[in-house]
């Protein structure tokens, strides 16, 4: 696997992953899978789209994970419940 991709969830990463952390991991993943460090012009749109989709999926994954003992998942659920109208 790609050695430059680091674990982005607590407690491995202190605090929450930033958009930059997630974007860098998504870029490294697409580079590894595609075999291109930088795509040719005719592949740029597909490459960029893949990075964006993987970054969104990663954000969703990290938001949905419940790390036992951290309370992070429960805190998110409480925030969502409070945001829903009556």
Q: Is residue 65 part of a domain?
A: yes
What is the rounded end-to-end Cα distance, in angstroms, of the chain?
Answer: 46
How many angstroms separate the CA atoms of 2 and 31, rounded? 9
What is the pTM for the complete model shown? 0.72
Q: Is residue 1 part of a domain?
A: no
Instruction: Reduce the DSSP state of residue 70 to 3 states and report it.
Output: coil
Q: Is residue 2 part of a domain?
A: no
Q: Is residue 11 part of a domain?
A: no
- Element (DSSP H or E) covering residue 34: helix 19-34
Q: Which domain holds residue 69?
A: 19-83
How many angstroms separate the CA atoms of 80 and 74, rounded? 10
Q: Is residue 14 part of a domain?
A: no
In tens, the pLDDT along 40-72 reads 999 999 999 999 999 999 999 999 988 887 655
Q: Is residue 49 part of a domain?
A: yes
> Per-residue confidence at 16, pLDDT binned at 50, 70, 90?
confident
- Element (DSSP H or E) covering residue 85: none
Q: How many domains does the chain have?
A: 1
> Per-residue confidence at 81, pLDDT binned at 50, 70, 90?
low
Q: Is residue 45 part of a domain?
A: yes
């Amino acid at each position: 696997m790609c050695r430059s991709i680091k674990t982005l969830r607590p407690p491995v990463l202190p605090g929450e992953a930033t958009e930059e952390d997630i974007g860098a991991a998504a870029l490294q993943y697409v580079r590894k899978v595609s075999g291109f460090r930088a795509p040719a012009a005719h592949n740029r749109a597909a490459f960029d789209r893949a990075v964006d989709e993987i970054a969104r999926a990663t954000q969703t994954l990290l938001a949905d994970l419940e790390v036992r003992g951290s309370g992070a998942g429960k805190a998110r659920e409480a925030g969502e419940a409070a945001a829903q109208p009556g």
